[in-house]
Chain A
Amino acid sequence: MTGRAVNNTIQTDDSPDLDWYIDRIVQVLMFIGGISAIVLIIGIFIFVTREGISFIFNDLDFAEFFASPRWRPTSEWRATYGILALIVGTASITGLAMMIAIPFSLGSAIFISEFATGKYKEYLKVLVELLAAIPSVVWGFIGLTIMNPLIIQIFNVPVGLNVLNAGLILGLMAAPIITSIAEDALKAVPDGFREAAEAMGATKWQVIYKVVLPAAKNGLLGAVLLGVGRGFGETMAVLMASGHAINLPENIFDSVRALTATIAAELGETAVGSVHYQSLFTIGIFLFLITFMINLTADLVVRGVKKG
């Protein structure tokens, strides 16, 4: 055996060979894959906008839409389309959920990343990811059948399906996602930082507080914002746990209704193309814009890490 390649002549022409074609094909496939995500998102936006656009131009009274708490699209006498109560409902549930989820998830992310070691750490990470994979309808089920009687019992209130219930459920749902992303952000902090600080005599907590958290700050903020986005967009669990009553809540024991839940509950019962149908799509556009802005902010914030 000579051990040399058979074809080791110097190539003098630039004619494409098999590798060249494969490379081209792969490039085209990757391009299609990449562009399809963009095409799909634009397609969805166009669809949602098209369904809602005639409502926006013909029937929409901006003042009423955003400032009136009266959502009565099926009123025979005078239909009103005010989503203020729905916005407040979504915002109060999400706000409470974040108050619960943020401390818990940042705490567990710090624990998993900085304190847990070896197998223990791996088990915890898998468990957190499992928690994130629980379907939202299951969470709604828990809210309906477990939390509801518990809240009635503990706080002595007539209804257990309210801001507190939905906020707790949503907080528990968002926590694993925030934890997971926050843990990634902490993991991205180079070990050299930790070692350098420890070598200076910093205690574990000083290392975390003075070095790791500032270094991971953007990633952590991004994680929180993604959790907020998740809260705004969540439908099923909120529909089941919030009480679904159009109401400007005075405290956390009032039932509320969320924007998303309204779409989910009403869209199936409207005539396609009717004003009610179009108004629901307008809510959809509004939700789309909000989550888009939250995710965009989250993305910009996370990117800030690399610039800094």
Chain B
Amino acid sequence: MVNPSQDAPAQAKNKKVLIENLEIKYGDTVALTDVNLDIEANEIYGIIGPANSGKTSFLNCINRMDDMRPNMSTTGRVWFNGIDVTNWRNLYSLRRQIGVVFPLPVGLPLTVYNNVALAPQLSGINKKADLDEIVERCLRRAALWDEVKDRLDSLGSLLSGGQQQRLTIARALSQEPDLLMLDEFSIAVDPVTTMRIEDVLKELKKEMTIILVTNLVQQAQRLADRTAFFLNGRMVEMGKTEDLFAGKVQHQETLDYIEGRFG
């Protein structure tokens, strides 16, 4: 485990995530620039904005998935728990602390059980009883247990879209993450299931920090404590969600977006 950098700014130490002057490029194309924000522990931090505004690229910087994309380059600093992740060497240990839920459910070609048990196994938990307990707890929390408890040995990819998405949430929870990042999780999920997952997220907030990237403005309004608005590769503004939705904004674009006047 890497020790906190000596030059960590004071404010980085008591924030869950602190972003300074982040810029992301794909080749010569700037995908996102000039992002400065901080995320408190145990808050749900909403990020809203239309497609191509750099939201997913932003998430990739936090768990250093940029490492997998050769043409993606980032400048600036990303502090996670007071540690500069841009210089983090053991990326696997970083990623184990951060759970990710992708927009389209990726049910790994494993059984339902193994989908959830994989992350604990990767971090060295091998006792059947421990794994059983983790799998049941995570599936319950993701509001999926009742539907799959009799078919834990069937392939995860055979579940319906909404079930697969809850499976990926259970999988993310099985890492016991410190930070949970959800990237437009509700795209492939019906509204009823979405509401159930949202209730789950409100509960989870007690234990972890959540970054919620969403294209549903109302979802951010329902869930997020604070919200940032990304547009065309820039962070337009951020603020308390209730303020933004009450119209206390610094930029007209933000108001236009959250009131649905463009997009």
Contacts and interface: CB of A to CB of B under 8 A. Distances in A.
B159 interface: no
A211 interface: yes
Given A199-B65, A199-B100, A308 B108 contact: no
Nearest to B93: A201
Interface of A: 117-118, 189-190, 192-193, 195-203, 206, 210-211, 214-215, 308
Contacts of A193: 106, 108-109
A198 B109 CA distance: 15
Interface of B: 63, 65, 68, 70, 92-100, 102, 104, 106, 108-110, 118-119, 121-123, 155, 168, 171-172, 175
A196 B95 contact: no
Nearest to B100: A199
B70 A215 contact: no
Nearest to A192: B106
A197 to B, nearest CB: 7
Given A199-B63, A200-B171, A214 B118 contact: no
Contact of B175 (A189, A200, A214, A215): A200
Contacts of A202: 92, 118, 122
Contact of A201 (B92, B102, B104): B92
Contact of B118 (A118, A192, A197): A197
B70 A200 contact: no
Contact of B109 (A199, A200, A201, A214): A214
Contact of A195 (B68, B96, B155): B68
Given A196-B102, A201-B97, 6 more contacts: A190-B106, A192-B106, A198-B65, A198-B68, A199-B65, A215-B108
A215 B108 CA distance: 8
Nearest to B65: A199
Contacts of B118: 197, 200, 202, 210-211
Contact of B70 (A118, A190, A198, A210): A118
A196 B102 CA distance: 8
Contacts of A200: 95-96, 99-100, 118-119, 122, 171-172, 175
Contact of B95 (A190, A198, A210): A198
